[in-house]
Chain A
């Protein structure tokens, strides 16, 4: 019988590895994370545990009874009704039915909902419709219902928004102009996030998810943190989850600080501290997947960063386990062999509080 172990590349291609090759990739992945984040690599016991997860001949793997965790999401129920760009199946049913099916057929722990155009700027003008939707769904659901949106600072820059585009100013060497534009845009984003979340709070919103925070860099992340801090005072009974866009906060501004800490360059174990200071209740790190490396390499890397983040956290940590993040291949239909291995490793080794 062959000793080759079936696994995948970061782009989803199925490959096979020898036991030695698998061990080498796991070691290389954790070393890469340790060097990038200046954090400890996985221990030899952790690596052996991770090896066994990958060497398991079953297609689907899972945790032992008693190790189960909960899930929160970015409107996952919506995949029943949205189309391909959002990984959806475009079923001819309403979003309300999709959320109920997610609760009662998929047996979800929590449900997420959002606008089809899942960013803050588009929902501001239609907030009344979103309030109506949230209220109706929350009356019918037994599980917690979270409303999610992406801060998406990019929509505030020209031509989509009113502010000069920092991405165009920077190549022209207009550094200070780019910084001012980002600061002004971030303030507008903060106001919109607070406005939308407070409106939803007033119709009973139990949780608000800031999805892909930092997608437009440090100013994007800053606006999210400021919004979280303000919402914790004006909407005290609404849980706030901050999910990141990437493992590393891009320094498009470079000098923005939160409570004296520069945001640019932060890795997850540093991001968690400012997210806690802002007052958030759950943190969702996102560790990037390299499509040209193996899934073992990618997952070892992700688990290394998540383990350090959980160790530094005083609030629950829910790693983002979707295509292209936290060890799941970047492919339209994430393979269940990879998704279950990522989930198992993040829970058993990373000690995640949820996914």
Chain B
């Protein structure tokens, strides 16, 4: 949120916590965030083979936070470009 909307730290935390449906204090609570990341399938540190990672996770994060991420936009453009 700092990169995309220039939000100061408190505003950024409130925005993200609101989108995730958790308290601000739980943003850095490993126990809570492990389950939140599983729930939204946006990637976890301890990886599972078919778990969401990388550009797929970033795409979901962009949708979840309603932000524009350049790398995701490029990915989607290429993905959806018509076959010649």
Give the B-binding residues of A (Cβ under 8 A).
Answer: 65-66, 68-70, 104, 107, 110, 138-142, 144-145, 201, 203-207, 237-239, 281-282, 314-316, 352-354
Contacts and interface: CB of A to CB of B under 8 A. Distances in A.
A282 B6 CA distance: 7
A316 B74 contact: no
Contacts of B54: 139-142
Given A139-B54, A139-B55, A142-B57, A353 B74 contact: no
B9 A353 contact: yes
Contact of B6 (A68, A204, A316, A354): A316
Contacts of B40: none
Nearest to B69: A206
Contact of A104 (B25, B47, B61): B47
Contact of B3 (A68, A204, A282): A282
Contacts, number: 81
B3 A354 contact: no
Interface in B32-84: 42-43, 45, 47, 53-55, 57-58, 61, 68-75
Contacts of B8: 315-316, 353
B28 A204 contact: no
Contacts of A281: 2-3, 6
A353 to B, nearest CB: 4
A204 B25 contact: no
Interface of B: 2-4, 6-9, 12, 24-25, 27-29, 42-43, 45, 47, 53-55, 57-58, 61, 68-75
A5 to B, nearest CB: 29
Interface of B is mostly: helix
A237 B70 contact: yes
Contacts of A204: 70-75
Given A65-B29, A354-B2, 13 more contacts: A139-B71, A140-B53, A142-B54, A204-B72, A204-B75, A206-B3, A281-B3, A281-B6, A282-B6, A316-B12, A353-B8, A353-B12, A354-B9
B57 A205 contact: no
Contact of B4 (A69, A70, A239, A352): A239
A140 B75 CA distance: 12
A316 B2 contact: yes
B70 A238 contact: yes
A66 B23 CA distance: 10
Contact of B42 (A65, A110, A142, A238): A142
A289 B2 CA distance: 27
A237 B55 contact: no
Contacts of B12: 316, 353
A65 B7 contact: no
Given A206-B70, A237-B70, A281-B2, A68 B27 contact: yes
B9 A70 contact: yes
A240 to B, nearest CB: 9
A205 B73 CA distance: 11
B2 A142 contact: no
B58 A142 contact: yes
A229 to B, nearest CB: 15
Contacts of A65: 25, 28-29
Nearest to B71: A204
A177 B8 CA distance: 43
A66 B58 CA distance: 24
A237 B73 contact: yes
A151 B76 CA distance: 32
